[in-house]
Amino acid sequence: MIRLLIFITFVFCLSFSAIADVLDDASKFTVRVRTSIEHSFAEDKAGTSKAAGFLVDVDNRYLVTNAHVAGRGNANIEIAFKGYEYVSADVIYVDPLIDLAVLQIENHSLPEEAIAAEMDCSDRNLTGISVAAYGHPKSLPFSASRGIISQVRTYKGYDWVQTDAAINPGNSGGALIDLETGQVVGV
């Protein structure tokens, strides 16, 4: 009985250790995004907003966020890695239909310890997997909320990931991470 209890405790601790490693990696690819819009255009409202994004390509310094975070080309965008000051980012691509945007930063703005998020672009069934929504909910920087993927739904020809992980203002543009593999499965 004692051996079984020790084994269960060991497995339980390994599980938490693996999740801690996944979230530690997430803190190295996640950025804070600050968007300022001076003049309203289309659906974009004037003002400043804060959200999340994540690094997907170290060599080209590409980051992904939501289109509603980046605006439609008339925004001043800045990003900040954990422990670093905000730097300017350029909008490379915006797709309001699927709500995605690609940003780029200057080479000197990329911290040495930054890593690219590993993306899961497979066709595997995601329903029921444990995930973490990683971002800056309610101005709490570099935070995670845990849940599962309830379903992958198709809407207007695009796949949308439904999760029960808590999503709050500040999570927009952040990664939805598979807690077992550490791969990004949604934005």
Active site residue 178: no
Per residue in 74-104, pLDDT (tens digit) is 789 999 999 999 999 999 999 988 999 999 9
Catalytic pick among 49, 109, 143, 172: 172
Query: Which run of H or E residues covers position 95?
Result: strand 87-95
Active site residue 88: no
pLDDT of residue 137 exceeding 50: yes
Backbone Cα Rg of the chain = 18
Catalytic pick among 49, 99, 109, 178: 99
Which amino acid is residue 20, in one-letter code? A
Catalytic pick among 68, 136, 143, 178: 68
Report the 10 Å Cβ neighbour count for 43. Answer: 10
CA dihedral 79, 23, 93, 159 (to 10 degrees): -150
Distance, CA of 63 to CA of 117 (rounded, Å): 10
The pTM for the full model equals 0.86
Active site residue 68: yes
